[in-house]
A and B are shown apart, each in its own frame.
Chain A
C-alpha cells in the first residue's frame, strides 16, 4: 500500500495543454474518485499515474518514490480498463496468471494467488473459459481478478463499470466497495458518473479543463460546493441556480419577491444563489413565489416537478410525491434562505458570516 503525491503535474500534446499545474495528495488506503465531464483530463491523469502516458511536467510519486521515469510494470500498480482488455486468446486462468508469470514468480505462488482471486470474485467455475465465452459482468470480475492477483500498492480503475447495464452496475459497485473494504489498498477510480463517485469515494476530486475544481469527501462536495461548477456537477437532480442582484443587503431575483440576505462579506452586486431541488418546498417557505407546473416526473419515492416562475426560469422541485399536481397547474413554491448556497460574481462560494442574520 502507498499514498501518492502529485506535484505541479502537467500534460501537453504539442501546443494543446490537457492538464496544468495539478497538485494532489492521495492518502495511503484511500478510495479516491476522479470525476468530471468528458475531456476534463481525468483519464489522462490516471494514465499518467499508471505510466501509460508521459508526464510533461511536474512529478508523480508513489510512496516516497518519484516514478516519472519508471515503466508501468515497475510501478507496483494494476489497472482495470474500461474495455476490460482481457487477452482474448488466453483462458481466464491464463489471463490471471499472465502478469505474475512475467514477473518470474514461482509457480506455487502464482497458483495460490490465482486461486485466491478466483475465490474472492467467485469465478472458479470460469477458469477454463475464454473471454468471449463470458458475460459482461463475468469479464468485469476477471478484469478485477487480474488486478488483484498482482497484490499491488495501488489500484487504478478507468471507468470500469460504464460498459455494464444499469442493474449489473449497481451490483458491481457494491462489490467493488466491499473489495475495497477487504483489501484496504489505495484505489484511484475515474468515472463520469457522479453516483459512482458519491457512493464509493473516500474523497472525490472534481476536474474541469485539466484543473482541480474541488477535492473533498462526498458530503463536503454536496453540502459545501466551492464553486458553481461543482455545485452544478454534483447532485442529482441538478441544483437550481438563480441570478440575483444585491441592493441594501436585499436579494432581487426575477420572479421572486425580494428577500434579505445574510451578511456575506462581499461587495459584489451580482450573486448566484443555488438551492437543491430537495430544499424547495411546495406551498410554504420563508420565501415563496407563484409558478406553473411545466413537467411532472414521478419516480416513486419522489416526484420531480419542473416549475416555471413568472420570470420564465424553471425551478426543479423534488417532492415526496403525495401531492398530485399536473402539467399546467398553478403552484406555490418556497424555500428557506438558510438552505441557499451563495456564489460571488466569479462563481466562488461565499460563506455567510453569521447564519442567524437570515431570519427576518
Chain B
C-alpha cells in the first residue's frame, strides 16, 4: 500500500470513530433531557392541573382525569373576578398596598439593622445579634396570640397596620442575617476610603453599601414579596372586613359560599393571583444579575 492509501485509510477510520462518538454523545444528551423533562412534568403537574381546572366546566374538575378541558370555560375568569360581593379589583389593590409597603419596609429597615450589625461598633452588638438570630428559631405560631393581644390593645385590628408596621421595624431576622452576611464581605477599605472622603456612617450606608448590595437587596425583595403576597394566616387573623381582604383571603370565600361551589372560578382567580409573583420574580431577577455585574471588587 502506498503512503497516500495509508493516510486515506487512517482518515476514514478517524472519521468513523468521530461519527460514532458524536452519535453516542447525542444519545446521552437525549436520555438526559428525557429524564429531566419527565421530572419537570411531575413537578409541574399540580400547576398544570390548576391551570386546566380553571378552564373546565364545574363537573369536569374532579370528574375527568384528562388535563385537557372538554370545553374551555373562559368565563370562569370574568365570573370569578366579580363572583364575590366585592370585586377582585379591590382585593388586588389591597394585596398590592400591603405587599409594596412590606417590601419597602423590609428593605429599608433590615438593611439599616444589618449595616449596624455588620459595620458599627456598639456595646452589646454580639449579644443583640445572637438575640436576633434566636428569633429565627421561634415559630410564628408561638408569638401569634401575644402579638394579637398587643395589636388589639393598640386598636390596630382590622387595619393593615399589624401587617405593615412590623416590616418597618426590622422584624424579619432572616433578611437581616442575609444582608449582614453580604455586607461583611464588602471590603472594609471602601468604608475607610469613604470616611476619609467625608462620609458619615449614614452616608457610607447610603452611597457605598446599598448600591453595592443590589444582589442581596434583590433577593430580600423577592422573598419578602412572595411571602407577603401569599400570606394567608396574618391577614386572616387581623382583617375582618371583606372590603379590606387580600387576594389569598378572598380565594377562600369561594369555598365558604353555600349552595353551589364555584371551584372553576376559584382556580381561575388562583391562576391570576400567581401572575404578579411571576412578574416580580422576572423583574427582580434582572436586578440580581445586574447587581452582580456592577460589583466587580477586584
Residues of A in contact with B (beta carbons under 8 Å apart): 50-52, 71-73, 77-79, 81-83, 85-89, 98-99, 102-103, 130-132, 146, 150
Flag if A73 contacts B296 (CB, 8 Å): no
- In the complex formed, the residue of A with least CB distance to B190 is A85
Q: Does B197 have its Cβ within 8 Å of any Cβ on chain A? A: yes
* Alpha-carbon distance between A81 and B194 when the two chains are bound, in angstroms: 12
Flag if B187 contacts A102 (CB, 8 Å): no
Nearest CB in chain A: distance from B191 CB, A: 9
**Contact residues in A for B133 (Cβ distance below 8 Å):** none
Flag if A130 contacts B197 (CB, 8 Å): no
Flag if A87 contacts B190 (CB, 8 Å): yes
**Contact residues in B for A83 (Cβ distance below 8 Å):** 187, 189
**Contact residues in A for B296 (Cβ distance below 8 Å):** 88, 130-132
Flag if A72 contacts B189 (CB, 8 Å): no
Flag if B197 contacts A102 (CB, 8 Å): yes
18 further A-B pairs in the complex, CB-CB below 8 A; given A73-B195, A87-B190, A132-B298: A52-B195, A72-B192, A73-B197, A79-B192, A81-B192, A82-B189, A85-B189, A85-B192, A87-B193, A88-B190, A88-B212, A89-B211, A98-B197, A98-B207, A99-B196, A99-B198, A102-B199, A150-B197
**Contact residues in A for B203 (Cβ distance below 8 Å):** 102
Q: Which residue in A50, A77, A85, A146 is a CB contact (below 8 Å) of B187?
A: A85
9 A-B contacts (beta carbon < 8 Å) = A51-B196, A71-B195, A73-B196, A79-B192, A81-B189, A98-B207, A99-B197, A131-B296, A132-B298
Interface residues of B in 181-232 (CB under 8 A from A): 187, 189-190, 192-199, 203, 207-208, 211-212
**Contact residues in B for A51 (Cβ distance below 8 Å):** 195-196
**Contact residues in B for A98 (Cβ distance below 8 Å):** 194, 197, 207
Q: Does B295 have its Cβ within 8 Å of any Cβ on chain A? A: yes
**Contact residues in B for A102 (Cβ distance below 8 Å):** 197-199, 203
Chain B: interface residue total (CB-CB under 8 A): 21
**Contact residues in B for A130 (Cβ distance below 8 Å):** 294, 296
* Alpha-carbon distance between A1 and B158 when the two chains are bound, in angstroms: 66
Q: Does B297 have its Cβ within 8 Å of any Cβ on chain A? A: yes
9 A-B pairs with least C-beta separation:
A132-B296, A99-B197, A102-B198, A85-B189, A73-B198, A85-B193, A89-B211, A81-B189, A72-B195
Q: Which residue in B187, B193, B198, B295 is a CB contact (below 8 Å) of A103?
A: B198
* Alpha-carbon distance between A131 and B197 when the two chains are bound, in angstroms: 17
* Alpha-carbon distance between A146 and B297 when the two chains are bound, in angstroms: 17
Interface residues of B in 263-298 (CB under 8 A from A): 294-298
- In the complex formed, the residue of B with least CB distance to A81 is B189
* Alpha-carbon distance between A277 and B212 when the two chains are bound, in angstroms: 52
Q: With A85-B189, A85-B190, A87-B208 given, is the CB distance from A77 to B196 under 8 Å?
A: yes
Nearest CB in chain A: distance from B84 CB, A: 47
**Contact residues in A for B193 (Cβ distance below 8 Å):** 79, 81, 85-87, 146
**Contact residues in A for B295 (Cβ distance below 8 Å):** 88-89
Flag if B199 contacts A78 (CB, 8 Å): no
Interface centre among B189, B198, B199, B295 (most CB of A within 10 A): B198
Nearest CB in chain B: distance from A243 CB, A: 44
* Alpha-carbon distance between A102 and B195 when the two chains are bound, in angstroms: 10
Q: With A85-B187, A87-B208, A88-B295 given, is the CB distance from A52 to B198 under 8 Å?
A: no
**Contact residues in B for A78 (Cβ distance below 8 Å):** 196
- In the complex formed, the residue of A with least CB distance to B214 is A89
* Alpha-carbon distance between A86 and B296 when the two chains are bound, in angstroms: 11
* Alpha-carbon distance between A88 and B293 when the two chains are bound, in angstroms: 10
- In the complex formed, the residue of A with least CB distance to B212 is A89
* Alpha-carbon distance between A88 and B208 when the two chains are bound, in angstroms: 9
Nearest CB in chain B: distance from A93 CB, A: 15
Nearest CB in chain A: distance from B252 CB, A: 45
